[in-house]
Homo-oligomer: A and B are copies of this chain.
Amino acid sequence: MNSSTLNFSSWLSETVSSVEQHLQHYMPAVDVLPEVLHEAMRYAVLGPGKRIRAALVYASGLACMNSAMLEEQQKQNLSFAAAAVELIHAYSLVHDDLPCMDDDDMRRGRPTTHIQYGEAMALLAADALQPLAFDQLAQMHIDPLSIVQAIRVLSEAAGSRGMVGGQVIDVANVGNLLELSQLQKMHQMKTGAMIEASVRLGAIAAGANNDLTAQLNRYAVAIGLAFQVVDDILDATADTQSLGKTAGKDAQNNKPTYVSLMGLEASKAFAHQLYNEALVAIDSLGYQAQRLRELADFIIRRNY
């Protein structure tokens, strides 16, 4: 993929299409027993989505490579890593939408998986996405020790000290007053951990050294928080149709958000500060980090 000459939005479309084609190919086909399970898994994963995590994997991988021109195998390794983070993200959305959690009927303009396939099937389809994610990492064509490292990164980010732990703190604090530091910790775990893992896995798939990994990690921490601050701003300001999910739901549910704690203007300023921190972290990387800069920009300016 000679994508270095594409403008950002074409590159992003190409990236989204790469990971989706990869998932189409590697997820069990709908004629494999049990057919309805595989249909539900594909419904959960292959519906419309921003694929920001996948894009971060590719952009981070590009930032670690000396050539702007990816060889086929390098591209495939990034696709394995990108598929892994998208599978984890997709399973978490299915479980978040269940009646015992957020009880959401719609997601990205479509019925949620349990509305479409029933609760039991949605539960199980999401359960089956997790092992598939780890299997994707195990299929990368890199040295086995790096694969083992990647497995540990994903496991930590997806587990109780990462995404699931953040989810628990979130659920437990609906209606509670949180301090800003607690809100930050919750978001770092709930969303930030998998965003950091995406950047880290892109670097591992591309064979990055430790110095580079540390720089990328600072970028990832800042952009992970920025992502959530923007999410809170959008929930407070955008309308339901452009969001693709119910707007104003956080305030309705009395959920603590950056906007409720800091106010709208201070939240916008904070998002911009985090954006700058992200750019500073990768400043020395030059042109090969261009996609990471563009993604930071995209995350800050998105309106859905």
Contact = CB atoms under 8 A, between A and B. Distances in A.
A277 interface: no
Given A38-B160, A123-B100, A154 B131 contact: yes
A95 B37 CA distance: 16
Interface in A213-268: none
A169 B38 CA distance: 12
Contacts of A38: 160
A24 to B, nearest CB: 16
A188 to B, nearest CB: 11
B138 A148 contact: yes
A46 interface: no
Contacts of A172: 34, 36
Interface string A8-45: 00000000000000000000100011101110010000
B132 A120 contact: no
Given A101-B120, A120-B101, A130 B130 contact: yes
A151 interface: yes
Which of A41, A125, A130, A145 is the most central at the interface, judged by chain B CB atoms within 10 Å of its CB?
A130
A98 interface: yes
A165 B128 contact: yes
Please tell me how many copies of the chain the complex holds.
2
Interface in A108-148: 119-121, 123-125, 127-128, 130-132, 134-135, 137-139, 143-145, 147-148
Contacts of A124: 95, 164, 167-168, 171
A155 interface: yes
A159 B135 contact: yes
A165 B123 contact: no
A301 interface: no
| Nearest 6 CB-CB pairings of A with B | A144-B144, A100-B119, A135-B155, A128-B160, A131-B155, A131-B159
Interface of A: 28, 32-34, 36-38, 41, 91-92, 95, 98-101, 119-121, 123-125, 127-128, 130-132, 134-135, 137-139, 143-145, 147-148, 151-152, 154-156, 158-161, 164-165, 167-169, 171-172, 185
